[in-house]
Amino acid sequence: MQNQLSPFIQHWLRLSLVKKRSPAFWLALLAHFELTIEQLFSLPVRELSQCGLKPDEIALINSPGDEIERIKQWLCQHPLNQIIAMSDVAYPERLKQLDSPPLILYCHGNAQLLTAPQLAIVGSRKATINGLNTARRLAKELGDAGITVTSGLALGIDGAAHQGAYPTSGRTVAILGGGLGCIYPRSHQALALSLVEHGGCLVSEFPPWETVKPYHFPRRNRLIAALSSGVLLIEARIKSGSMITANLAADMGIDVFATPGNINNPLSEGPHYLIQQGARLVTSSGDICEELGWVVKDLEREGGNHQQDDDDEPLLKEFTGEPINIDYLVEKTGLSVNRLMPRLVELELQGRIVAVPGGYTRAMGPVGS
């Protein structure tokens, strides 16, 4: 794991920046000619050509332009910015099982989570309120039990999973479909900041400046699946990216889990299909831990946090029947985003407020009920 660019790390970076070649190509080339990464970069141009490299590719790896300098600048911008090369001891062993594992991982946050036990939670971007609450509850229980929750920072189930995991345990990893300098969706920039502040980690195989492209998401999904001991699907249509992630996991021999839903809800199609195909039906985090053989601490809390309830009353009074956004709440309460978000998540888990397009609104019934 590096927060500075050694010559060794620069070698791997230069290969990763040749966009026309996949990681699998470079790994196969090194294996075929029995070369180390250092030996490859010591070869003269003639011998590089004999290895099958084209002139423009040789030029790129020998002189990658200003991209290496841009990455150096990114590393200096924050102490939590890190790079993990494939040969680094901190590189997750699970990723090495992929046919084309990323040569480089860009990380912002606690990168040690990448080698911790992980459970991926994925699902629809247009999830129901029940689906969002289920994702938050299960993620919170898993995080409190010491399990890292991994997802893709997307709208809907992904975001809810991160929201459930980070406030109390901080154990969540977000795999991005673009560079770490281009958080997508933009509405989740505050969430990304908060999960890192609480001990989580943002991860990408793309350079920090790389914007999101449609073809990036399958690559992101394969990392989500490969990093995890199991994948949990909460609400998804049969034809969806979340189902692709679940199917990738099954193909890798990774356990797949699914939550049942309303048979009249189209978003129940994906989970119900997986259950019919043998996925483990899940109604609690205990179902997952039992199946995977994880021994975890008792998740039940004794008593209630009455002091927290009292502290939340001024915040709850801000909610009316209309959606209220984060900026408004920051201004009215004087709380920072990092302090506000965990409290909003806790209120959602208690069923006292509801996330809606445009922000949050109070749940049905009197405020504070």
**Which parts of the chain register pLDDT below 70?**
1-4, 64, 295-311, 321, 337-338, 349-351, 357-358, 363-369
Question: Of 94, 69, 76, which is closest to residue 13 (Cα–Cα)?
Answer: 69
- What residue type is 267 in one-letter code? L
- What residue type is 19 in one-letter code? K
Class of domain 111-292: alpha beta
Looking at residue 318, its pLDDT comes to: 83
- What residue type is 142 in one-letter code? L
Helices 306-316, 337-349: crossing angle, 10 deg rounding: 110
Looking at residue 298, its pLDDT comes to: 45
Can you tell me the distance from the alpha carbon of 190 to that of 349, in angstroms, rounded to the nearest whole number?
19
Burial class (CB in 10 A: 0-12, 13-18, 19+), 52: exposed
What Å distances lie between residue 36 and 28, 52, 213, 321, CA to CA? Answer: 12, 16, 32, 63
In this structure, the chain runs to a length of 369
**pTM given for the model:** 0.81
Q: Which helix (H) or strand (E) holds 297?
A: none
Can you tell me the distance from the alpha carbon of 363 to that of 369, in angstroms, rounded to the nearest whole number?
9
Looking at residue 307, its pLDDT comes to: 43
104-146 tens-digit pLDDT: 999 999 999 999 999 999 999 999 999 999 999 999 999 999 9
Looking at residue 62, its pLDDT comes to: 82
Question: Of 288, 349, 21, 321, which is closest to residue 161 (Cα–Cα)?
Answer: 349
Tokens 């990304």, residue located:
192
At residue 205's C-alpha, the angle toward residues 15 and 174, to 5°, is: 170
Residues paired with residue 105 on neighbouring β-strands, in sequence order = 84
